[in-house]
Chain A
Amino acid sequence: MSSATIAADSHADHDDHHGPAKGMKRWLFATNHKDIGTMYLVFSLAMFFVGGIMALVIRTELFAPGLQFIHPEFFNQMTTMHALIMVFGAVMPAFVGLANWMVPMMIGAPDMALPRMNNWSFWILPVAFSILASTLLMPGGAPASGWTMYPPLVLQTGDAFPFLIFSVHLLGISSIMGAINIIVTIINMRAPTMTLLAMPMFVWTWLITAYLLIAVMPVFAGAVTMLLTDRFFGTSFFLAAGGGDPVLFQHIFWFFGHPEVYIMILPAFGVVSEIIPTFSRKPLFGHDSMVYAAASIAFLSFIVWAHHMFTTGMPLTGQLFFMFTTMLIAVPTGVKIFNWIATMWRGAMSFETPMLFSLAFVFLFTIGGFSGLMLALVPADIQYHDSYFVVAHFHYVLVPGSVFTIMAGVYYWLPKWTGRMYDEKLGKVHFWLSTIFVNLTFFPMHFLGLAGMPRRIPDYSTQFADFNMYASIGAIGFGVSQLLFVYIIVQNVRGSGVTATAEVWEMPRGLEWTVPSPAPYHTFAEPPEVGGDKAFS
């Protein structure tokens, strides 16, 4: 602790001749992990609104049966773009932004290991998404085959097709570079006294996530490249007429796609594992078993992919294998949930906004986990598959799952970033509005799916009208509530709110709380001393 304070102090004067560059240069040529983290987070928030508006277009059309506002082709473009933007533009960059900001500070490193690559991996993103968004203006419109891009349908895409593939390649490059950077930083730049198992959970989950990214993004790139050559260079990887196999694409895609969904949830586990101990005033329960559980989930993610494909006609043994492995995921996931509850148990809890979002995460992610377990059972999955039940399931794990923890993380660390407390009252209002509307949006979708409504349809039979109306009201409410989130952040950044202490919260654990708030531009030029007793875990 003392040496950390000294390290931070010695930085204060260092800052004078080594501060941020002025104007646009600071951002364009950014190599500072905090600046790049900020850019990632701002970009992700912008994409969250772009993708959100697309979701509202979808929900507005689905408010009542019959086509009122848009045509089916545009509806399909919206579902496709909404998913691509939310997955690759909002959720993933938000976690990379949190990692950029927090990982170096949590492990006592001065910066990310590869700062220039860090700059590049960020600046690829706006380019990639500009390319993707530009397809909306092209003849034939944006891609409309779903974010899963199943051939042969995706090969019917208009002029947008090569742009779609190219933007996916760029996103892959960005993710791989980001992942390499995080791995190298964590492995090489930890404070020398911090052992691997003493690392905070957020660092651990990101380390595992980064390995998943490196393992699967090239697979994804390969799959879409095969689509490209099928379309333009006369190959028939996925075309039955040429001896190819359309299902092969689905195997390759989901070999990427299933680890991908854990890429979006493991860092969320990390964020929650930081927040719940702080507001329970009690150390994280079972730190090591949490690490092993996260690693088990990551391993299992590689051998469950075909549970997305139970209706494609697999051999019985294949279906049994993927059913059993999928069910197995419930065990390490359960361990995580139980550990969080054991962390709260006999603590002294208080309910600031980050804690509220984390608690909602534990509740609602568990509900998403339950529907996940139901989906694992093949005979039942045959009924659920491609229905709104699946839409409900993955939105429960992604919105009150990943998105809520991103918000929790922002509220938790914002005082560290800006040096001022956010408006707690407004934060709580934001939380309650978000929680009520997210449930109003996605809970009725379970019923719709069970009653037989397929997903990705622009219009539906009249028996589905009521629940669709509730979902649409919820979606609009959720969307509008997020303006409050922006307002709270802008107010905070512009300088309102009481000054935060270095610790910000009551006795939080972690090196990030040993540096002043706001965190100086450069932190930990000299590595801090960390006790071997996991004082910081």
Chain B
Amino acid sequence: MIRKIWFGVVALLAAGAASADLAVNMPKGVTELSAETYALHMEVFYWCCAIAFVVFGVMIYSLVKHRKAAGHKPANFTHSTTAEIVWTLIPVVILLIMAVPSAETLIKLEDSRKPDLTLVITAYQWKWHYDYKGEDVSFYSSLARTSADARRKGSGIDPFTVENYLLEVDNRVVLPKGAKVRVLVTSNDVIHAWWVPELAMKKDAIPGFMNEMWFRADVTGIYRGQCAELCGVDHGYMPIVVEIVEPEEYQSWLADQKADAS
């Protein structure tokens, strides 16, 4: 009976996953550090699987073999210094193996020296303001009209008919491929967080603080993210869209922006 239920649940999950082509894992992203982060994530995941295989394997073996119903007579041991030393040391070794690459990646993440361009982000309840430092280009970026209409309770609009529901903005951030972009992030009211998974960047926007992050995108494309820190009633409605374009295209976009402003 129980086994049948389990099979049912597994089949349901598998069917759902197959039909919808679901994302179940962290994106590899489009920067060197996002790839490193992804590799780190997978490495620690595989370690966890290996540990689970051994630990749960031993436990399940014991659950099957050492049952009273199977006529097993209980042993009476309560100590084994050797075993205890072994299962203290092995985790320490695994942790050291994991600590080294994560420290290396972390050090790189923090090294925002010599950027090609600097983007200053100011968060507001509930939109983003982007300022291209030294370029005299700045604008607000809010939830796109299509999503803003559909998201109201009782709007009568099916979210599935809205393209990029809740993940589209009116003004995208456009940035050049291959450039080291330093991002300075702060807030004008409460704490927000700027997160684009494919750039592997998330940093809190805190009033009174100027936080820093950086990335160098290697692939052109449109990358979407959302505010990640609860910032009030419309926290779920301040998406981020970053468009990475070829450097020439970026220059012409920048020129257009300046022309529009003047």
State whether the Cβ of B133 lies closer than 8 Å to any Cβ in chain A.
Answer: no
State whether the Cβ of B231 lies closer than 8 Å to any Cβ in chain A.
Answer: yes
Select the stretch in B44-52, B170-178, B244-252, B253-261 that faces chain A: B44-52
- Find out whether the CB atom of A313 lies under 8 angstroms from the CB atom of B209: yes
Residues of A within 8 A of B228 (CB): 311, 385-387, 454
- Find out whether the CB atom of A466 lies under 8 angstroms from the CB atom of B40: no
State whether the Cβ of B113 lies closer than 8 Å to any Cβ in chain A.
Answer: no
Query: Given A313-B211, A349-B68, A447-B24, 12 other A-B contacts at CB below 8 A?
Result: A66-B157, A72-B235, A150-B190, A328-B95, A348-B73, A350-B69, A382-B200, A383-B41, A436-B5, A451-B22, A459-B166, A466-B22
Name the one of B6, B203, B207 contacting A313, with C-beta atoms under 8 angstroms: B203
Interface residues of B in 112-133 (CB under 8 A from A): none
Q: In the docked arrangement, what's the CA distance between A25 and B67, Å?
A: 48
State whether the Cβ of A3 lies closer than 8 Å to any Cβ in chain B.
Answer: no
Select the stretch in A29-37, A187-195, A220-228, A335-343 that faces chain B: A335-343
State whether the Cβ of A457 lies closer than 8 Å to any Cβ in chain B.
Answer: yes
Name the one of B78, B106, B162, B190 contacting A316, with C-beta atoms under 8 angstroms: B106
- Find out whether the CB atom of A362 lies under 8 angstroms from the CB atom of B230: no
- Find out whether the CB atom of A454 lies under 8 angstroms from the CB atom of B66: no
Q: In the docked arrangement, what's the CA distance between A283 and B74, Å?
A: 10
Interface residues of B in 69-113 (CB under 8 A from A): 69, 72-80, 83-84, 87-88, 91-92, 95, 98-99, 102-103, 105-107, 109-110
CB-based nearest B residue for A534: B78
- Find out whether the CB atom of B63 lies under 8 angstroms from the CB atom of A344: yes
Name the one of B80, B164, B206 contacting A342, with C-beta atoms under 8 angstroms: B80
Residues of A within 8 A of B91 (CB): 330-331, 334
State whether the Cβ of B134 lies closer than 8 Å to any Cβ in chain A.
Answer: no
State whether the Cβ of B222 lies closer than 8 Å to any Cβ in chain A.
Answer: no
State whether the Cβ of A378 lies closer than 8 Å to any Cβ in chain B.
Answer: yes
Return B106 CB to nearest CB of chain A, in Å: 5
- Find out whether the CB atom of A457 lies under 8 angstroms from the CB atom of B226: yes
Q: In the docked arrangement, what's the CA distance between A331 and B159, Å?
A: 46
Select the stretch in A366-374, A491-499, A522-530 that faces chain B: A366-374
Name the one of B68, B79, B206 contacting A348, with C-beta atoms under 8 angstroms: B68
Return A299 CB to nearest CB of chain B, in Å: 16
Q: In the docked arrangement, what's the CA distance between A85 and B212, Å?
A: 36
Name the one of A146, A246, A282 contacting B76, with C-beta atoms under 8 angstroms: A282
Residues of B within 8 A of A374 (CB): 41, 44-45, 48
Give A306-324 as 1s and 0s: 1 = Cβ < 8 Å from B's Cβ atoms: 0000011100100110011
> How many residues on chain A are close to B (CB under 8 Å)?
97
- Find out whether the CB atom of B72 lies under 8 angstroms from the CB atom of A312: no
Give A341-385 as 1s and 0s: 1 = Cβ < 8 Å from B's Cβ atoms: 110111111110000000100110011001001100111101101
Name the one of B48, B159, B197, B233 contacting A76, with C-beta atoms under 8 angstroms: B233
Residues of B within 8 A of A240 (CB): 206-209
Known contacts A347-B75, A457-B236: A383-B62 contact under CB 8 Å: no
State whether the Cβ of A284 lies closer than 8 Å to any Cβ in chain B.
Answer: yes
Residues of A within 8 A of B102 (CB): 323, 377-380
- Find out whether the CB atom of A447 lies under 8 angstroms from the CB atom of B23: yes
Please list the residues of chain B having a beta carbon within 8 angstroms of any beta carbon in chain A. Answer: 2, 5-6, 9, 12-13, 16-17, 20, 22-27, 33, 36-37, 40-41, 44-45, 48, 51-52, 55-56, 58-59, 62-63, 66-69, 72-80, 83-84, 87-88, 91-92, 95, 98-99, 102-103, 105-107, 109-110, 150-155, 157-160, 162, 164-167, 189-191, 193, 195, 197, 200-204, 206-209, 211-212, 225-237
Could you list 23 A-B pairs, sorted by A, with CB under 8 Å?
A66-B150, A67-B151, A76-B232, A146-B230, A153-B230, A240-B209, A246-B206, A247-B206, A282-B75, A285-B80, A316-B106, A342-B80, A344-B62, A373-B44, A379-B106, A383-B197, A444-B13, A450-B24, A454-B195, A454-B226, A466-B16, A466-B22, A470-B12
Known contacts A66-B151, A286-B84, A344-B59: A379-B40 contact under CB 8 Å: yes
State whether the Cβ of A280 lies closer than 8 Å to any Cβ in chain B.
Answer: yes
Give A262-305 as 1s and 0s: 1 = Cβ < 8 Å from B's Cβ atoms: 00000000000000000011111111010000000000000000
Q: In the docked arrangement, what's the CA distance between A385 and B20, Å?
A: 26
- Find out whether the CB atom of A348 lies under 8 angstroms from the CB atom of B66: yes
- Find out whether the CB atom of A460 lies under 8 angstroms from the CB atom of B99: no
Return B10 CB to nearest CB of chain A, in Å: 11
Known contacts A72-B233, A347-B66, A348-B68: A379-B109 contact under CB 8 Å: yes
CB-based nearest B residue for A240: B208
Residues of A within 8 A of B236 (CB): 72, 454, 456-460
Interface residues of A in 49-76 (CB under 8 A from B): 65-73, 76
Return B152 CB to nearest CB of chain A, in Å: 7
CB-based nearest A residue for B156: A66
CB-based nearest A residue for B51: A370
Known contacts A286-B79, A344-B59: A462-B160 contact under CB 8 Å: yes
- Find out whether the CB atom of B151 lies under 8 angstroms from the CB atom of A463: no
Q: In the docked arrangement, what's the CA distance between A347 and B36, Å?
A: 45
- Find out whether the CB atom of A65 lies under 8 angstroms from the CB atom of B51: no
- Find out whether the CB atom of B234 lies under 8 angstroms from the CB atom of A66: no
Return B224 CB to nearest CB of chain A, in Å: 8
- Find out whether the CB atom of B74 lies under 8 angstroms from the CB atom of A346: yes
Question: A-B pairs with the 6 shortest C-beta distances?
Answer: A240-B208, A457-B236, A451-B23, A313-B211, A370-B48, A67-B153
Return B230 CB to nearest CB of chain A, in Å: 5
- Find out whether the CB atom of A377 lies under 8 angstroms from the CB atom of B66: no
- Find out whether the CB atom of A386 lies under 8 angstroms from the CB atom of B193: yes
Q: In the docked arrangement, what's the CA distance between A457 and B83, Å?
A: 46
State whether the Cβ of A152 lies closer than 8 Å to any Cβ in chain B.
Answer: yes
Q: In the docked arrangement, what's the CA distance between A331 and B88, Å?
A: 6
Name the one of A67, A346, A379 contacting B200, with C-beta atoms under 8 angstroms: A379
- Find out whether the CB atom of B62 lies under 8 angstroms from the CB atom of A345: yes
CB-based nearest B residue for A474: B9
State whether the Cβ of A24 lies closer than 8 Å to any Cβ in chain B.
Answer: no
Known contacts A313-B203, A374-B44: A283-B109 contact under CB 8 Å: no
State whether the Cβ of A2 lies closer than 8 Å to any Cβ in chain B.
Answer: no
Return A418 CB to nearest CB of chain B, in Å: 25
- Find out whether the CB atom of B37 lies under 8 angstroms from the CB atom of A383: yes
State whether the Cβ of A461 lies closer than 8 Å to any Cβ in chain B.
Answer: yes
State whether the Cβ of A137 lies closer than 8 Å to any Cβ in chain B.
Answer: no
Give A376-412 as 1s and 0s: 1 = Cβ < 8 Å from B's Cβ atoms: 0111101101110000000000000000000000000
- Find out whether the CB atom of A348 lies under 8 angstroms from the CB atom of B67: yes
Return A71 CB to nearest CB of chain B, in Å: 6
Known contacts A246-B206, A327-B98: A67-B152 contact under CB 8 Å: yes
Q: In the docked arrangement, what's the CA distance between A458 and B202, Å?
A: 21
Return B237 CB to nearest CB of chain A, in Å: 8
